[in-house]
Chains A and B, each alone.
Chain A
Amino acid sequence: MDASKQVHVPEEEFEIPQELTAELSQKRRSQGRIIFDRFVRNKVATVGAIFLTILVLCCLLVPFIPGHTTPDTVGQTTPFAGMSWQYPFGGDNLGRDTFARAMIGGRISLLVALTSMLISILLGTVVGALAGYYGGWVDNILMRITDTILTVPLYLLLFVLSATFTDGTPTSVIFLIAIFGWTTSARLVRGEFLALKQREFVQAASTIGARGMRLMFYHILPNAAGPIIVNATLLVGSNIILESVLSFFGFGVSIPVASWGSMINQGRDYFDSSPRLILIPGILIFLTVLSCNLVGDGLRDALDPHMTER
């Protein structure tokens, strides 16, 4: 066949009729833009995303807010001080600034949740990709390990490990949550890989010589990105709850370091007299987890147009 002819034919075919260009160019949107537009149409999810953005900004910027720069200083205000303009969330049992602590604690809680999510997703994606792509004994071994971890109730496992192996620093809690959080994403990615590796585009890529890692991470993985992103968002929410539960039982981030969980653990003794000490971190946890769930479901709809029709 004549190569030069082939190149010319499509160009002529795809020439856009003049009278349609204005409308067509107006409607042409990038993939990201389409997803963004679809996400924004979901108002509840957008509110969740805005809340998360504001929260993250507050947590990052709190050391620069005048008057709230010292979250760990005892006696900043009177113990159990009520809400005031100067200290919007009042003071805790030692007179520390609860607003500053809630924001710094949020920073730790979000850091723990996000980092452990990243590690879990990374680990889960690699394990799931290897298992789904190679199949056979690789799949067997990896999935038996996953099954083994899934047989023991997560909370019990985390309690045992955190009670003995962590030193109460955020880093240790991050690794602990991450080590057992990857199992669901591994199963998810494996399922996606099993389905995708049969598809024509993968066969096409493999025909032109793409092998192993390139095929797995360059061709298949981007197509599995949707479910992974959704899973990651939901995982942040559940990790925040996990961190707070661990801290609630005294197994998580230990007390001098503020996290939402450790603040609740500390406020527990004063719940009857000043429930605020538990309510503030509690409501922040609730709103954050709620936002993560809403954003996750919004992303699911935005990334998978077939679902939106339901």
Chain B
Amino acid sequence: MGQYLIRRLLQAIPLLILTSILMFLLIHAIPGGPDAVYDNPNMDQAGRQALRASFGLNDPLPVQYFKWVGNALHGNFGTSLYTSQPVSEVLTQRFPATLELFLSAFVLSLIMTVILGTVSAAYQGKALDYTLTSLAYFGISMPIFLLGLLMQDVFASSLNWLPPSGTATLGYTFSPFNAFLDHLMHLVMPMIVLAVTFTARWSRYLRTSMIDVTRQDYMRTGRAKGVTPSRLLLQHALRNAVIPLITIVAIDFGSVAGGAAITEGVFAWPGMGQLFIDSLNRRDYPVLLTSLLLSAVFVILFNLLADVLYGVMDPRIRYS
């Protein structure tokens, strides 16, 4: 196990280097650059050159790449061209919002998945199963932004139950507890929208693996021994059926560093996805490059975690 982990981590290193080179070239291939952001009509040619030199843009690309990697390895990801803050500071400001959104959506999705997937498998081929299957198809086929806009229209504009967007009601000072409640109210809609897609996909997986498990011999043995159907399903089947789901959940969680651009965009949730879109529109290259790299690191790590978890959950899996 330890050996396996070390080998997988070592394998991740070349992948990460390749990704970083790709991202670096991509960002540099974008027309314009820091000089375009800071450009102003009063600047003469010499000033422009000095500006380029101050960003190190006159060095050959490989030199720039190694300088950037060297700095990044020391935890220095450069300075945002827009806010002039260190990039790491910009990202750490935004990360909690995305993490909060993802964690809450994941908890909700997991609960819903276990309920819907189990019920669907238990009533396989019955009306209830068909209803839940249709719901899953609905969730998979619905464009997230459309779902978000519709929910905003219904629950915020028409019914006025929930705030339409943002993280807090502006212009009010609340007591700490009420401020917290207010914040939770803002979380509800983006959380649900994000959870719908995950729940739809995951519950399909769980249903399939539940049905696979219920056909196995030990389930028949359980029935023959007189284990009650509900106990058999919830304790004996679910435990094994959940294993493949764990990997998918872990891999999906790897996208947290990239944020949920669409959901965050629709609900003006100040997370990583929104930051990415904003930075793109502002041509804030250091922030873009760092968030791309950070998302890649997260994806690689959570893929690894998924494989490790799989082995922990199912001891029959041998790492080789």
Partner-B contacts on A (CB < 8 A)? 144, 147-148, 150-153, 155-157, 159-161, 163-164, 237, 241, 244-245, 248-249, 264, 268, 271-272, 275, 278, 282, 285-286, 289-290, 293-294, 310
Does any Cβ of A come within 8 Å of B265's Cβ?
A: yes
Bound-state CA distance A163–B137 (Å) is: 31
Report how far A272 CA is from B149 CA in the complex, Å.
Answer: 10
A271 touches B153 (CB 8 A): yes
The answer to whether A155 touches B141 (Cβ under 8 A) is no
Chain B facing A: main interface SS: helix
Does the CB pair A160–B288 fall under 8 Å? yes
CB atoms of B157 and A164 under 8 A apart: no
Chain A residue with Cβ nearest B272: A156
**A286 with B280, Cβ < 8 A, contacts A155-B258, A156-B291 known:** no
Which of B12-20, B59-67, B73-81, B111-119 participates in binding chain A?
B12-20
Per a CB cutoff under 8 Å, which of A144, A147, A156 touches B276?
Answer: A156
Q: 8 additional contacts, CB 8 Å, given A144-B18, A160-B288?
A: A144-B15, A152-B23, A156-B291, A156-B295, A161-B26, A163-B281, A249-B265, A285-B143
User: Which B residues touch A237, using CB under 8 A?
Assistant: 141
What is B's interface to A at a CB cutoff of 8 Å?
14-16, 18-19, 22-23, 26-27, 29-31, 137-138, 140-146, 149, 153, 157, 208, 211, 255, 258, 261-262, 265, 276-277, 280-281, 288, 291-292, 295-296, 299-300
Which residues on the A side are within 8 Å of B22 (C-beta)?
148, 152
B306 to chain A, nearest CB (A): 13
> Are the CB atoms of A285 and B146 closer together than 8 Å?
yes
Cβ-defined contact, A282 with B146, below 8 A: yes
Q: Give which listed residue, A152, A164, A271, contacts B292 with CB less than 8 A.
A: A152
Q: How far is the CA of A241 from the CA of B18 in the complex (A)?
A: 29
Question: B142: nearest residue on chain A (CB-CB)?
Answer: A286
- CB-CB nearest 10 A-B residue pairs: A153-B258, A290-B141, A282-B146, A289-B141, A151-B296, A164-B30, A148-B18, A151-B299, A151-B19, A153-B295
CB-CB under 8 A from B15, the residues of chain A are: 144, 147-148, 151
Tell me whether A264 and B146 are in contact (CB under 8 A).
yes
CB distance from B99 to the nearest CB of A (A): 16
Looking at B16, B141, B288, the one whose CB has the most chain A CB atoms below 10 A away is: B141
A164 touches which one: B23, B31, B137, B141 (CB < 8 A)?
B31
CB pair B19–A148 under 8 Å, yes or no, is: yes
| Residue contact A159 to B277, C-beta cutoff 8 Å | yes
